[in-house]
Structure 1
Amino acid sequence: MTGVTLENTIKRYGETQVIHGIDLTIEDGEFCVFVGPSGCGKSTLLRMIAGLEETTEGSIAIGARDVTRADPSERGVAMVFQTYALYPHMTVAENMGFGLKMNGVPKAEIREKVRMASDILKLDDYLKRKPANLSGGQRQRVAIGRAIVRGPEVFLFDEPLSNLDAELRVEMRVEIARLHKEIGATMIYVTHDQVEAMTLADKIVVLRAGRIEQVGAPLELYRDPDNKFVAGFIGSPAMNFLRGTVKGGQIEVPALARAVEAEVTLPAEGTEVIIGVRPEHIEVSTGQGKLIAELSEALGGVSYLHLDTLSGERIICEERGDERAREGDTVDIGFEPRRVMVFDASSEARIR
């Protein structure tokens, strides 16, 4: 298997530039996830690697080969799409082996490769069925199996779980993670779901408006984001953000009607900043304070408490244990200075 390297990769549609000079190295055997909001360019970038979109400028290499102008069939990649794209009149085995058949691969070799893929994906009991007799999760496994039998150097996944219900999404995440461990191939996976990104990736590439905001391991991005966008996108529920002003070595936060400390080197007196605190890092005290509990989402082992602040900004707190706030309660909140992240109010860059 091989890695993928992008150097100053640019994509334009006429005068409109949608991918802006991407530099990225994906190591051999790495599971890399492109994540970001709709329209950020993640699927376009994946299709450029696949050869389904032309690269306007820059280069793309798979292993030691420059494939920037190569046809998709010459790149050594296999792509799994959001739609399963299975032939309804063919059995599972026929669907999985169809690409090899079209390339003139001997029948015995096709059967062996289909058998191996079926064994990996636990599809042995379904090989004679047709797609209409399969669940959504089974159909997606067949689509993945079709990619496996081709023996690609790189697997590309374009939001493969978007059409599945919540339970099947979890099941297929486990299947794909297990598949990566078993075959050890380089995989590039596109999703807008940061939970999928966090649970699957060795490396996450956070994209916004065709540019890379940050690259790193899941927990690295969670614990040490470079800017407000990454901090807010990684983590569920999202990080809370409150505006404040530097005053006397602290940050005056109108939403809380008090000052907040942070273990960072603060900018000059009077500078406007944004503080960020994750829901799980907030301590809630009931029966005191000036914040009103508007909603409590009780999910069993955890509750998410939605608070109205004095300035109209919203805060979500994570609560555990037996004693939890209820809707309508007056509460106060606290957090350790080391848990407070600070961002420049203008550039939204992290202040460390």
Structure 2
Amino acid sequence: MTGVTLSNAIKRYGDVQVIHGVDLKVEDGEFCVFVGPSGCGKSTLLRMIAGLEETTEGVMHIGARDVTRMDPSERGVAMVFQTYALYPHMTVKENMGFGLKMNGFPKAEIDQKVKAASDVLKLEDYLDRKPAALSGGQRQRVAIGRAIVRGPEVFLFDEPLSNLDAELRVEMRVEIARLHKEIGATMIYVTHDQVEAMTLADKIVVLRAGVIEQVGAPLELYRNPDNKFVAGFIGSPAMNFLEGVVGQGGVDVPALGRSVALSVDLPAPGTKVTLGVRPEHLEVHKGRGDLHADLSEALGGVSYLHLVAGTGERLIAEERGDDRAAAGDTVDISFEPHRAMVFAHDSGLRIR
């Protein structure tokens, strides 16, 4: 197996540039996830690696080979799409082995590779079925199996779980994580679901408008985001952001009606900043304060309390235990100062 390296990768459609000088190294055997909002360029970047989109400028290596101008078939990659793209008239076995058959592999070798892939994906009992007789999760496993039998150097996944229901998404997420652990291949995975990114990735690449905002391990991005965009995108529910002004002893936050003392190098007093704190780091105090609870989402072991401040700003607090606030309550919140983050008001960059 081999890694993938992108150097100043640029993609233009005519005069419109959609990928802006991406530099990235995916290590051999690493599970790398591209994540970001719709239209950020993550699927375009994946298709550039696959060779399905031409790289306008820059250089791309898979292992030691410069594949920038190579055809997709020469790159040693296999791609799993959002749609299963299975042949309805073929059995599972025929679908999985079709690519090898077209490339002239001997039948015995095709059968051996299909059997090995079906064992890994728990498809042994379905080899003689056609796609119509399979569930959505089983069809996606067949699509993954079709990629495995090719023995690629790099697996590329383009939002492969988007068409599945919630339960199947969880099941397939576990399957893909197990598959990576078992075969140890280099995998690059595109998703807009940051929960998938957090649970699957060795490395997350956060993209916005064709630019990499930050690269790092999942918990590194969660704990130490470089800017407001990454802080708000990684974590569920998203981080709360409140407007503030640097005071003499900390940040004055009108929504909370008080100043928050912080152990960071704050800019000059009077400077506008944004205070960020995650829902799970807030503690709710019932019966006091002036934050209005307008909705409580009770999910069993946890509730998410939606709060409105007098300034009109909204925030979410996570609650556990039996004594939880309800919609209509007036509450106050507190948090440990080291849990809060401060971002520049204009640029969104983290102030450390």
Q: Shorter-chain TM-score category?
A: over 0.9
Taking the TM superposition and a 5 Å limit, the aligned residue runs for 1:2-13 are: 2-13=2-13
Cα deviation code 1:66-116 (max 9, x no counterpart): 000000000000000000000000000000000000000000000000000
Contact 1:4 1:26 in 2 (8 A): yes
Tell me if the contact between 1:249 and 1:266 (Cα under 8 Å) persists in the aligned partners.
Answer: no
Amino acid at match of 1:147: A
State the partner residue of 2:116: 116
Task: Show CA shifts across 1:217-260 (max 9, x none).
Answer: 00000000000000000000000000000011211111112111
Between the two proteins, what is the percent identity of the paired residues? 82
- In structure 1, distance between residues paired with 2:221 and 2:263: 19
- What runs of 5+ residues in structure 1 fail to find an aligned partner? none
What's the secondary structure of 1:98's corresponding residue?
A: helix
* SS of aligned partner of 1:162: coil
Q: Deviations over 1:245-293 (max 9, x none)?
A: 0011211111112111222111101000000000000011000001111
**Which residue number corresponds to residue 203 of structure 1?**
203
Determine whether 1:96 maps to 2:96.
yes
Secondary structure of the 2:70 match is coil
* 8 Å CA contact retained: 2:244, 2:254: yes
The alignment yields a C-alpha RMSD, in angstroms, of: 0.4
Residue 178 (structure 1) aligned with residue 178 (structure 2): yes
Q: Tell me which residue corresponds to 1:151.
A: 151
Other structure's SS at 1:79 match:
strand
Aligned residues: 352
Distance of 2:29 and 2:249 partners within structure 1:
47
- Note if contact 2:249-2:259 (Cα within 8 Å) is conserved in structure 1: no
In structure 2, what is the Cα distance between the partners aligned to 1:249 and 1:346? 22
Q: Distance in 2 between matches of 1:76 and 1:204?
A: 23
Aligned residue for 2:172, secondary structure, equals helix
* Alignment correspondent of 1:279: 279
What is the distance in 2 between the residues matched to 1:150 and 1:262?
54
Q: Is the 8 A contact 1:263 1:340 kept in 2?
A: no
Q: Within 2, Cα distance between the matches of 1:242 and 1:40? A: 25
Q: Does 1:188 align with 2:188?
A: yes
Structure 2: how far apart are the matches of 1:246 and 1:37?
31
Does the 8 Å contact 1:36/1:42 carry over to 2? yes
2:293 corresponds in structure 1 to 293
Deviations 1:203-224 (A, max 9, x none): 0000000000000000000000
Using the size of structure 1 for normalisation, the TM-score is 1.00
In structure 1, distance between residues paired with 2:215 and 2:272: 27
CA contact (8 A) 2:306 2:315 kept: yes
Runs (4 or more) in structure 1 with deviation over 4 Å come to none
| Residue in 2 that maps onto 1:79 | 79
> Does 1:322 find its partner at 2:322?
yes
Question: Which amino acid is the alignment partner of residue 63 of structure 2?
Answer: G
- Indicate if the aligned counterparts of 1:293 and 1:329 stay in contact, CA closer than 8 A: yes
Displacement, 1:336?
0.8
Give the aligned partner of residue 313 of structure 1. 313
- Shift in Å at residue 120 of structure 1? 0.1
Q: Are the aligned partners of 1:257 and 1:310 in contact in 2 as well (CA < 8 Å)?
A: no
Structure 2, unmatched stretches of 5+, are none
Match in the other structure for 2:217:
217
